[in-house]
Structure 1
Amino acid sequence: MSQHRIGSFEFGRIIATIAIIALHCQIFMQAPLFNGQPLLGMGLNQVSRFAVPLFFIMAGYFIQPRLTTELGPYLWRYARPLLIMWVSWSIIYLILPFNFHLVATDGYFAERSLYWQKLLSTPLNTLFEGGLVHLWYIPGLLSGLAVITLLLRFNLARFIIPVATVLFIFGLMAGSYAQMTDLSSPVFTRNGPFFSTFMIMLGFEIRRRNISLSLKYSIIMMMVGFGLFIGEANYLSLQENGSFFHDFLFGTPLWALGIFFVLLAKPSLGDSKITHSLSKDVLGVYLCHLIIVIYYLNIVRILGINPIIASIFAVPVVYFVSTIIVRGLRKTPLARFLVR
């Protein structure tokens, strides 16, 4: 999540953040139903899956010049504040309760013990996530950057694309396609370097090779990638024990790249004072939003709010509250540990 101030990229980061919030809020997944299926919710869920891949591509694009020349020292300067925030938010999420009803009936420690036991049951995977599932982004980003940095450090830049591609294919074969390949991984392959390295590599190589596309071909790439992604999701859902919901598929790189090239081709897209103001909070909002989602859904259940009404208000409420929290934290001594 870069600090560069190109209007279209800042706008893209905000849209991606909103998409992530919508995904985690599970909007319209309970109602309305069409033939017993939340087709609207399922569609919005899948449409949101471009967000984190786009963040990775942007990171690779903006970090390329300094990472190439400064290597390890720059990676450490880049990683240190992110690791501090990852640890700090992990501690917060280990402490804060998630289930209001369970706390009220069984007590705080009973509710937390169940969650702690769940994390300890998969310690290696927890290491690549942290205190709450969405924090996987930071270890994923840093492990992908570390792979690329090591290859650069040992003058193996020509292997960046092959290594990233192998990791990506293995991630899919041992992840979404595992039901067909019977491959497995000790770490859930969405986490760690499997997909992040490939996405970061795309942005890295675009910047290094000065690649660009016209708006027309960028849109075509985006549509083809999304079509492939949805086609794969439908195909996999028809397999035995198959699921329609996936973070990464073979169509993901084309889809996310198409969006990236649209932003690159239209640098003034969404450029405004509001965009630049909100974009400063993107990382902080990402880190804190999921607890707001959890509490929002708790309140919805307690009050028995109609699921359609709850879905309509979920994203604006969570985004607004998260932004207020981030800006409030920035005014406290805790800022260096929790926000940028």
Structure 2
Amino acid sequence: MLVLLQRSSRILNTRKTDKPNFGGLDWIKLLAALLVVANHTSPLLSFGSDIAVVLSGIVTRIAVPIFFMTSGFFYFRKLTRDPRTDNRTLRGYLGKIGKLYGIAILLYVPFNLYTGYFKDDFSAYSLFKDIVFDGTFYHLWYLPALLIGISLTSYLYRKVSLDSLLAISGMLYIVGLLGDSYYGFIASSPGISDIYDSMFTVFDYTRNGLFYAPIYIALGAFAARRKQRVRSPLANACLFFGSLVCLLGEGMLLHSTDMPRHDSMYVFALPATYYLFQWALQWKGKSNKVSRDWRVWIYILHPAAIVFVRGAAKAVKLESIFIANSLIHFVSVCLLSIIMAAVAVKILGFRRK
């Protein structure tokens, strides 16, 4: 009997050990949420505009790709190649994200009223364009981009090979690059620029679900469905930091030549995101429930936190501390965003990998 119990214990321990642990991905998504806050608050602006651009205009541009790639990874891990099962998985995923997007739209209606959203050239078409592509508030574009990106990559995944999915997504990303950070290359080309001008009547930016999201979601699918080359954590860390240095060089060069129309999409953001993801998969530690529950709400609520911090600072005449000092402003917004996220999780709840 004792021998049987010992064997059972070993089997259970093996199962626990063999169970995938994605605690590292929890932490990089929490970090990504804070990087998004940094993108919208410029924490280093008080120390100089150049260093502020390096952080807020370049380094933080790996934040949303991290969200897309991890979302693609967890979503495609669930697919079975059985059409009925996979369609149910897709419908469930889109329903959950769609519900979250609807809640976010409603939460920001008071802010839309405050900023004059419904007065400045507002129309049924502009509302449709914002809901489908641009978001009804400046950060909400991510949710429709995720909805479109997951739908598009899921369709392609059923029709073509994984390598073809990556190739098609890569070509879409190149189209997006020319409408974003590399816009200067086509701005003076009448035929091509006219095509992009037509595109910009449908959406404001190419960093959307058609051109931006698919490649990162596809990379997540590649990591989930294709056996990866095993590298040491040190190797992945070096590849990440090397890619990050290249990203910094790319971003500074493009900014110095006034190339970008918008600066969300970079070539070296692709390897930087991929190798950070691979590195994070190797981090030890348990999956963190707190970060898993809060990170999405930090993303959704941080613009409201920015408004509240600025309003409170003005009310108590402490603008010089909480607004003019960009680093204190960033920290304050982060702390308030976390508090608001905790409240939102308690009231509304939303959990997804």
Q: TM-score, normalised by structure 1?
A: 0.81
Give a deviation string over 1:287-334, Cα, whole Å, max 9, x none. Answer: 1111111332344456332478642333333233223323323444xx
Unaligned runs of 5+ in 2: 1-19, 188-192
Matched to 1:81, the amino acid is K
Query: CA 1:80 to 1:121, structure 2 compared with 1: closer, same or farther past 3 Å?
Result: closer
Quote the residue 2:55 is aligned against.
Answer: 44
Instruction: Give runs of aligned pairs for residues 1-80 of structure 1, distance below 5 A.
Output: 6-29=22-45, 31-33=46-48, 38-45=49-56, 46-69=58-81, 70-80=85-95
Larger Rg: 2
Instruction: Give runs of aligned pairs for residues 177-326 of structure 1, distance below 5 A.
Output: 177-182=182-187, 183=193, 184=196, 185-186=199-200, 187=203, 188-211=205-228, 212-239=230-257, 241-243=258-260, 246-268=263-285, 271=286, 275-300=288-313, 303=317, 304-306=319-321, 310-326=325-341
Quote the residue 1:130 is aligned against.
Answer: 135
Give a deviation string over 1:236-281, Cα, whole Å, max 9, x none. Answer: 2232x4459722200001111121111122233xx58xx4323321
Query: 317-326 vs 197-206, which deviates more?
Result: 317-326
Counterpart of 1:175 (choices 180, 197, 209) is 180
Report the Cα offset of residue 7 of structure 1. Answer: 1.7
Unaligned runs of 5+ in 1: 99-107
RMSD, aligned CA:
2.8
Helix, strand or coil for the counterpart of 1:133? coil
Query: 300-309 vs 255-264, which deviates more?
Result: 300-309
Matched to 1:49, the amino acid is R
Query: CA 1:13 to 1:277, structure 2 compared with 1: closer, same or farther past 3 Å?
Result: same
Query: 304-313 vs 186-195, which deviates more?
Result: 304-313
Quote the residue 2:156 is aligned against.
Answer: 151
| Identity rate, percent | 21
Q: Conserved in 1, the CA contact under 8 Å of 2:184 and 2:260? A: no
Q: Conserved in 2, the CA contact under 8 Å of 1:141 and 1:193? A: no
What CA distance in whole angstroms lies between the structure 1 residues aligned with 2:124 and 2:247? 30
What CA distance in whole angstroms lies between the structure 1 residues aligned with 2:154 and 2:213? 13
Helix, strand or coil for the counterpart of 2:122? helix
Q: Conserved in 1, the CA contact under 8 Å of 2:182 and 2:261? A: no
Quote the residue 1:105 is aligned against.
Answer: none
Q: Conserved in 1, the CA contact under 8 Å of 2:313 and 2:323? A: no
Q: TM-score, normalised by structure 2?
A: 0.78
Give a deviation string over 1:100-158, Cα, whole Å, max 9, x none. Answer: xxxxxxxx5x8454467399658525521322121111111121111121123335555
Quote the residue 2:3 is aligned against.
Answer: none
Report the Cα offset of residue 195 of structure 1. Answer: 1.6
